[in-house]
Amino acid sequence: MKAIMEMLRARLASESSVMLVSAVGGCGSVPRKLEAHMLVAHEGRLCGTIGGGAIEGHSIALARELIEKKESCIRDFRLDENGELNMVCGGAVTVSFVYICAGDQKAMQMADRALRCMERGCPCWLVLDLSGGKAVLVDQEDHQTPELPEELLSALNAVSRQIEIGGKAYYVEQLVRPGRVYIFGGGHVAQALVPVLSSCAFRCVVIEDREEFASVRLFPDAEEIRLIPAGEWGRCLNIGAEDCICIMTRGHQGDFDCLRFALRTAAYYIGVIGSRRKIASTNERLREAGCSDLDIARIVTPIGLDIGAVTPAEIAVSIAAQMIHRRVQRKARQA
């Protein structure tokens, strides 16, 4: 979404009208049902995607027509033999088309605010007025949105969905979620993991006690890199229930000390790299240190899905997949 907001700001600054195209609902076998956006101009797609294929191609063509007419609309696409796309995979998807005219100052401000929120990690929501063809941004620092009903603002959470209030339909999506991934250790696995997680909208903070590994050169995609002496984590970090912890320091003792600290936090995911033999030894040491079986049950180890990963890149993929799954499960519980 960052690329879309950057492109939106650039195009409006150059006095060019655009169409924000968004997947806002669906069922069955469709590429994307929610949380998919693209920006289209008169010459075609600029950035983003709503899943590719026939739906995207047809949506681009329709968006270009609507730009010429200066209109917004909602369109339902059926993916069966009776639908206009003549597809057989089944299902349906609802696509929103929001026309944004050249020089629209409210849209420019929306893009600026969204980018500031993304930079600061401030939670914010995109609200599409499906009845009126408008896009609005809501953030925790500025709730001055008189065009939206209070009932809608109070219903904003981590779940993307359509809401009907007062006979009007809205689509809401949280663009920036609270919470970070604290990665303890800056070795090869961490170096492979940060870009994968960052590309999946995880905000990564790398924690190291070695200056040569606490480097922007090694972690260009990290939101933050902290040089913290081992054992000083509690004094320097404030890790909450929205956060994740990945432990992959340079040694077993470092992992153990870090794990004891992690169990004192409310982090919803605590993953530790290591072999099954190391796990058994670590669990025994934790019990000797006073940790309960409930404490130990919070630990995900070996970290990552069991896909036979060997290389740092493969391990990074397995960890990211597991964390995506945990994030989805958590969002479902919050619904």
* pLDDT digit string, tens, across residues 221-244: 999 999 999 989 999 999 999 999
CA torsion sign for 270, 276, 281, 287 is positive
pLDDT, residue 123, reads: 87
Span 14-40, average pLDDT: 86
The DSSP annotation for 79-145 comes to -STTSTT---S--EEEEEEEEE-TT-HHHHHHHHHHHHHHHHT--EEEEEETTTTEEEEEETTB---
Give the dihedral sign, CA 289/283/204/142. Answer: negative
In the predicted structure, residue 87 carries a pLDDT above the cut 60: no
- The architecture in CATH of the region 181-334 reads 3-Layer(aba) Sandwich (3.40)
- Angle, in degrees to the nearest 10, between helices 105-120 and 2-13: 150
Listed residue (319, 316, 229) closest to 269, CA to CA:
319
Q: How many Cβ atoms from other residues are within 10 Å of residue 275's Cβ?
A: 10
3-class state of residue 160 by DSSP:
coil
* The pLDDT value given to residue 94: 93
What residues does each domain of the chain span? Answer: 2-100, 105-176, 181-334
This prediction's pTM? 0.76
User: Does 319 have pLDDT greater than 90?
Assistant: yes
Are the C-beta atoms of 171 and 148 separated by less than 8 Å? no
The secondary structure element, H or E, covering residue 196 is: helix 188-199
